[in-house]
Chains A and B, each alone.
Chain A
Amino acid sequence: MRIAAVRVWAFALAGLLLASVPLTAHHEILAKFDDKKPLTLSGVVTLVDWRNPHVHVFMNVKDARNQILNWAIELESVIDLQRSGWTRESIQPGDALTVQGIAARNGSRQAWGNSVVMTGTGRKVLNVTVSGPPPLLQTRPTPRWPDRQPRLGGAAPGAAQGYWAVPSSTALVENGVTVAMDAYGLLRNIADAPKVAPLQPWARALYVERQRRFLQDDPTYLNCKPPGGPRQFQTPYGVQLVEDRERRRIFVLIGGGNSNYRIIQMDGRGQKGQVGGDDDNPLYYGRAVGKWEGDTLVVETGGFNEDFWFTNGGLPHTEQLRLVERFSRTDFDTMKYDVTIEDTGAYTRPWSSSSTLRWVAGEELPRHLCQDNRP
C-alpha cells in the first residue's frame, strides 16, 4: 500500500515537472512560419488563449474532404493586440472567422495570422499595423534639470509618464551601410551579411548560419536571456531611463524581457569590476560607467558574457566586447544613440552604428514578460 502511495506521489511529481518544462520559443516569425506559404482558413473558434508572448486562437476548419481539423492561429502579443483595440473578449468560442496568414514551416496545423475577419459581418478584428512613429507636430526643447543637464528619463518632476521606444533601427548595421532586413534583423538577402559589420571569418560564418536558420536559436527569445548591449534599445517595448542623481547612477529598464535592468554608474569609478563582485564575472549587461560630455552622456561598458546575442539579427560577440555609447536628447522627443563596438575577438576593427529613439509620452513602460516561450 505504501509503495503504491509513493508511486502515485512520484508520478504526480514527474507530471508536474514535465508540465513545467518551458516549450521552445517566442521568436522571429519567419523562424516558424513561411511567408512563401500563404493560406486562408475559415472556421469556428474553439478557444482564445490570451497570454504572452503571443495570443493563439484555435479554430475548427473543414478540409477538402469535409473533415474538421483544429488549427492554431498565432497572433501578435497581448500588448500589440490591445494597442490595436482588440480585447480578450473581441473573439469568443463559437465565432466564425476567416483568417489570412502564412503556414508553419513544419507542415503542422499552425498559421501566423495577418488578417482576421468575422465571417458573418465582414468586420476586421485584427488591425495591427507596423508603422514608424507619428510625425512631430512641433519640436519641443530638451527638458533639463535645474543645473541645465538634459533630463534623460522624463520631462519634469511630477510630469506625465513616458519612455523611449520606436527605434529607428532594430538591428545593428555599420554606419554608412544600407542593407534590407526585417524588424528582427533577418536579412532580405543573405549575401549582404559581410556588409553589415567588419566580421572576422568565424564570426561572419556564424552570423550567416544564424541567418540561414531564421534566427530561431536566439537565446533572448529561446531562453529569455537578457538583451544586453545595444539590443536593449532595439526591443519592441522600449526602455525607461531612471536617473538616480542622489546615488549617482542611471537605471535602464526594459519593457520586454524579464523586467531586468542595467545600471550605469555615474560616480566616477573606473571601468573595473568590484573585487569579489563582478571583477571576474562577465555579465549580460556588463559593467557600465558613464559621464557627461556637454549635453551627451557617454557610457563605456565592458565585462559582457557570451551567453546572449547583443543585437537583433545574431551578430556574434566575445567577452572582449567593449562599447562606447553616446546618448543625446536632441529635443524633447528624440534620443540619439551612437554606439562604437570594439571586440577584437569577433571583429577586424572598431565600428559604429547610430539610431534614434522616440519619446512615448503619457504612457507607462509596457510589461511584456518573457515567461512562456511557446513555439
Chain B
Amino acid sequence: MRAWIFVIALSFITALSVAPPLAAQEGHPLKGSWLGTWAKSANHADDVLVVLKWDGKAITGMINPGTDNIAIKNATLNPEGWVVHLEADAKDKSGGALTYVIDGKIENIHLPKRTITGTWKNQKESGTFTVERQ
C-alpha cells in the first residue's frame, strides 16, 4: 500500500517536472494572464486573476473573469521603472459602487514568469498584491 502511495506521489512529481516550459511572451510586457493573491477583504477572496491585452494603443482587461468580472477601465504602463497603474469599477456585497485603484511594478521583466507586486485600494479597504504571469 505504502509503495503505491509512493508511486502515485512520484508520478505527480514526475508530471510536474516534465511539464513543457512556459512559453515566453516576448511582446508587450503586460499582455497575458496574471495569477496571484491580493490580501483578503470583505469584498473579494484571496485569489486574483488579471487578464490584460494590448492593441497597440490601450491596455484593456478584466479582473477575475468568469467570477467577479471586474472590467478594467483605465490601465497604464510606464516603461520608466515598469510601473503599472490599473483602475476598475466593481460592486461590494451590498451592491454599492467600489473603485479599485491598483499600483504596482513589474519585476523580472526578462522572465516569462515575471511578477507584478504592489498595492490595491478602494473606498473601504486596501492591501497588497502579487501576481505572476502564467
- By a beta-carbon cutoff of 8 Å, the part of chain A in contact with chain B is 2-3, 6-7, 10, 13-14, 17, 201-202, 204-206, 209-210, 213, 217, 219, 223, 225, 306-309, 316-320, 344-346
Asked if residues A307 and B79 are in contact (CB atoms below 8 Å), the reply is no
Residue of B with least CB distance to A317: B27
Within B70-88, the residues touching A (CB, 8 Å) are: 77, 79-80, 82
Chain B interface, number of residues (Cβ within 8 angstroms): 29
Q: Kindly identify which residue among A2, A309, A345 contacts B3, using a CB–CB cutoff of 8 Å.
A: A2
Q: How far is the CA of A225 from the CA of B112 in the complex (A)?
A: 14
CB distance from B14 to the nearest CB of A (A): 7
Asked if residues A17 and B18 are in contact (CB atoms below 8 Å), the reply is yes
Interface of B is mostly: loop
Instruction: Answer whether residue B97 sits at the interface, using C-beta atoms and an 8 A cutoff.
Output: no
Asked if residues B6 and A345 are in contact (CB atoms below 8 Å), the reply is no
Asked if residues B80 and A205 are in contact (CB atoms below 8 Å), the reply is yes
Q: Kindly identify which residue among A2, A10, A204, A209 contacts B110, using a CB–CB cutoff of 8 Å.
A: A209
Residues of A within 8 A of B54 (CB): 318, 345
CB distance from A31 to the nearest CB of B (A): 12
Residue of B with least CB distance to A206: B29
Q: How far is the CA of A7 from the CA of B31 in the complex (A)?
A: 43
> A13-B14, A204-B79, A209-B109 given as contacts; is B56 within 8 A of A344 (CB)?
yes
Asked if residues A219 and B110 are in contact (CB atoms below 8 Å), the reply is no
Q: How far is the CA of A206 from the CA of B6 in the complex (A)?
A: 46
Residues of B within 8 A of A319 (CB): 27
Asked if residues B14 and A17 are in contact (CB atoms below 8 Å), the reply is yes
Asked if residues A205 and B27 are in contact (CB atoms below 8 Å), the reply is no
Q: Which 3 A-B pairs have the closest CB atoms?
A: A205-B79, A306-B27, A344-B56
Instruction: Answer whether residue B21 sits at the interface, using C-beta atoms and an 8 A cutoff.
Output: yes
Asked if residues B110 and A307 are in contact (CB atoms below 8 Å), the reply is no
Asked if residues B79 and A219 are in contact (CB atoms below 8 Å), the reply is no
Residues of A within 8 A of B123 (CB): none
Q: Kindly identify which residue among B24, B29, B57, B111 contacts A225, using a CB–CB cutoff of 8 Å.
A: B24
Residues of B within 8 A of A318 (CB): 27-28, 31, 54, 56
Residues of B within 8 A of A344 (CB): 56-57
Residues of A within 8 A of B10 (CB): 10, 13-14
